[in-house]
């Protein structure tokens, strides 16, 4: 039967293909056009032949009455193959006034006139590209014109479902105190936290980002991202829940990387107390460069030499010698230069235990926050900080949540739960 169908399709295209002169690209386009046309017709027939939510003349209602079958109501839906019409069974309760279209829930249809398959494809493009570019790409790929406004609404709806699920998971834990089940058991688990800003309608606002990573049994790095526009306490809980799923409670070693900001220290103490806290090398180095520029000027060889000499001491663990040297040098400066020296000395003194880079390197620990620094750019910046973008809070939060779902390989799980109909 399969071969017979192919023979018939080949016969239909015979004359058209003959005129293409062996141009494979054009042959593919002709075949794709035919397949889309046949797909639309087949999809429409399949839907026309189904019950589409019909469950008899009546259904029980929550008010203890009955929802009565009224009729099959049509709804135009934009699918992967084009526009189709679905006639769905409509029920109404005369006692309480509630109505129900069972097919919409079972099939995964939402309020938009877009099928789950087409919505999923649009969202997959929109986690990387602007809504406008996603609209252009979906037309270029499958020939379906979906407006950027429609894609934006769908992304916001689906991303909001992701956020609601995350909030519910946190609420459930705080209520039950049942720890999330670990999906892996790594030997050493890294948790890194940082923040980056996103331009929203009223101002620039901080988005907090966490990266949890480890090596699997084949020494491949596996990463999980957390990103929220919450206050640090709420973000910390979400970071901790994700870390638990990555084996936080089972791992032999926990390493926590950050820049030493107050909120990062607080969340380290609150949730990751047994972790070795390391102030990442990049941020530590920045403090030396800031001081050196104040002393000798930006871009000068003197600054470069001074910073290099002192970072060498820090790198090799000569903390006492480093501090003694800085304290001796500060005596010859006044005004803003002495203030810069005092700031650097206080920074090193208060973070000495978190800057033992010789010890950390000897243990094989990462001392840089490249993973979370990269996440700020790759997870947030690449999508939310493109040229000219200004977001609403709902839009930025939902789009980020959807992007992280994709990056964390939770995409199939999300769409399996029919988020358009939620």
Express each pLDDT in 159-177 by its tens digit.
999 999 999 999 999 999 9
Q: Are strands 204-215 and 188-199 parallel, antiparallel or unpaired?
A: antiparallel
How long is the chain? 422
| Nearest Cα to Cα of residue 307 among 326, 288, 322 | 288
3-class SS of residue 244 = helix
Residue 394 lies in a domain: no
**Average confidence score pLDDT of the chain:** 94
Residue 111 has pLDDT above 90, yes or no: no
Task: Answer yes or no: do 266 and 203 share one domain.
Answer: yes
**If pLDDT is split at 50, 70 and 90, which confidence band does 185 have?**
very high
DSSP 390-421: -B-HHHHHHHHHHHHHHHTT-HHHHHHT-GGG
42 CB contacts (<8 Å, ≥6 apart)?
none
Task: Answer yes or no: do 270 and 299 share one domain.
Answer: no
Local structure of residue 420 (DSSP, 8 states):
G
Task: Answer yes or no: do 235 and 338 share one domain.
Answer: no
**If pLDDT is split at 50, 70 and 90, which confidence band does 374 have?**
confident
pLDDT tens per residue across span 26-55: 999 999 999 999 999 999 999 999 999 999
Task: Answer yes or no: do 272 and 302 share one domain.
Answer: no
**If pLDDT is split at 50, 70 and 90, which confidence band does 7 have?**
confident
Task: Answer yes or no: do 236 and 301 share one domain.
Answer: no
**If pLDDT is split at 50, 70 and 90, which confidence band does 6 have?**
confident
Residue 101 lies in a domain: no
Instruction: Give pLDDT, residue 370.
Output: 67
Residue 369 has pLDDT above 70, yes or no: no
196 CB contacts (<8 Å, ≥6 apart)?
206, 207, 209, 376, 377, 380, 381, 385
Interhelix angle for 148-176 vs 116-126, to 10°?
90
Residue 4 lies in a domain: no
Residue 405 lies in a domain: no
Distance CA 208, CA 196 (A): 6
More confident site: 422 or 400 = 400
Tally the C-alpha atoms within 13 A of residue 178's C-alpha that lie toward its C-beta.
4
- Count of structural domains, the chain: 2
Residue 84 lies in a domain: no
The mean pLDDT of 397-419, rounded to a whole number, is: 97
Task: Answer yes or no: do 291 and 356 share one domain.
Answer: yes
Instruction: Give pLDDT, residue 148.
Output: 97
Task: Answer yes or no: do 273 and 373 share one domain.
Answer: yes
Task: Answer yes or no: do 253 and 373 share one domain.
Answer: yes
pLDDT tens per residue across span 189-200: 999 999 999 999
Instruction: Give pLDDT, residue 371.
Output: 67
Task: Answer yes or no: do 260 and 380 share one domain.
Answer: yes
Residue 72 has pLDDT above 90, yes or no: yes
Residue 421 has pLDDT above 80, yes or no: yes
Q: pTM value?
A: 0.90
- Phi/psi at 385 (nearest 5 deg)? -120, 30
Domain hosting residue 196, numbered range? 188-280+368-385
Counting residues of the chain whose pLDDT is more than 90, the rounded percentage is 88
**If pLDDT is split at 50, 70 and 90, which confidence band does 19 have?**
confident
Counting residues of the chain whose pLDDT is more than 70, the rounded percentage is 99
**If pLDDT is split at 50, 70 and 90, which confidence band does 372 have?**
low
Residue 268 lies in a domain: yes
Instruction: Give pLDDT, residue 86.
Output: 97
Say how many Å lie between the first and final Cα of the chain, rounded: 40
3-class SS of residue 100 = strand
Q: Which of 331, 362, 393 is the last residue of a domain?
A: 362
Distance CA 156, CA 164 (A): 12
pLDDT tens per residue across span 280-295: 898 899 999 999 999 9
CATH of the domain at 253: 3.30.420
Task: Answer yes or no: do 261 and 379 share one domain.
Answer: yes
The mean pLDDT of 50-74, rounded to a whole number, is: 95
3-class SS of residue 204 = strand
Spell 314-334 as b/e; 16+ CB within 10 A means b. Answer: beebebeebbeebeebbeeee
Residue 114 lies in a domain: no
**If pLDDT is split at 50, 70 and 90, which confidence band does 2 have?**
confident
Residue 226 lies in a domain: yes
Distance CA 279, CA 258 (A): 5
Task: Answer yes or no: do 198 and 275 share one domain.
Answer: yes
Task: Answer yes or no: do 380 and 274 share one domain.
Answer: yes
Residue 235 has pLDDT above 80, yes or no: yes
pLDDT tens per residue across span 250-280: 999 999 999 888 999 999 999 999 999 999 8
């Amino acid at each position: 039967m399969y071969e017979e169908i192919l023979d018939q399709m080949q016969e239909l295209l015979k004359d058209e293909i003959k005129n293409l002169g062996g141009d494979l690209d054009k042959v593919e386009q002709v075949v794709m056009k035919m397949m889309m046309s046949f797909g639309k017709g087949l999809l429409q027939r399949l839907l026309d032949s189904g019950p589409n939510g019909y469950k008899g003349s009546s259904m029980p209602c929550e008010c203890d009455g009955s929802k009565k079958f009224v009729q099959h109501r049509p709804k135009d839906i934009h699918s992967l193959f084009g526009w189709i019409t679905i006639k769905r069974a409509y029920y109404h309760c005369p006692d309480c006034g509630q109505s129900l279209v069972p097919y919409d829930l079972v099939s995964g249809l939402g309020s938009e006139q877009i099928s789950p398959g087409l919505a999923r494809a649009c969202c997959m493009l929109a986690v990387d590209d602007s809504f406008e570019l996603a609209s252009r790409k979906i037309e270029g790929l499958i020939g379906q014109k979906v407006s950027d406004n429609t894609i934006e609404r769908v992304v916001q709806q689906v991303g909001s479902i992701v956020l609601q699920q995350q909030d519910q998971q946190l609420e459930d834990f705080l209520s039950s105190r049942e720890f999330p089940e670990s999906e892996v058991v790594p030997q050493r688990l890294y948790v890194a936290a940082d923040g980056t800003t996103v331009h929203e309608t009223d101002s620039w606002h901080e988005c907090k980002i966490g990266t949890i990573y480890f090596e699997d049994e084949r020494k491949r790095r596996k990463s999980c991202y957390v990103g929220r526009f919450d206050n640090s306490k709420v973000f910390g809980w979400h970071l901790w829940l994700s870390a638990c799923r990555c084996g936080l409670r089972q791992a032999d070693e926990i390493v926590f990387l950050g820049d030493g900001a107050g909120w990062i220290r607080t969340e380290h103490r609150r949730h990751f107390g047994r972790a070795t806290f390391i102030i990442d090398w990049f941020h530590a180095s920045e403090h030396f460069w800031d001081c050196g520029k104040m002393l000798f000027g930006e871009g000068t060889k003197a600054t470069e030499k001074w910073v290099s000499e002192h970072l060498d001491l820090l790198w090799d663990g000569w903390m006492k010698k480093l501090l003694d040297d800085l304290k001796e040098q500060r005596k010859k400066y006044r005004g803003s230069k002495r203030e810069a020296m005092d700031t650097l000395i206080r920074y090193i003194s208060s973070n000495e235990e978190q800057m033992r880079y010789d010890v950390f390197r000897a243990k094989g620990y990462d001392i840089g926050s490249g993973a979370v620094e990269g996440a700020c750019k790759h997870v947030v910046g690449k999508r939310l900080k493109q040229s000219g973008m200004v977001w609403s809070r709902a839009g930025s939060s939902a789009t980020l949540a959807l992007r992280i779902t994709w990056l964390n390989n939770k995409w199939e799980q999300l769409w399996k739960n029919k988020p358009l109909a939620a």
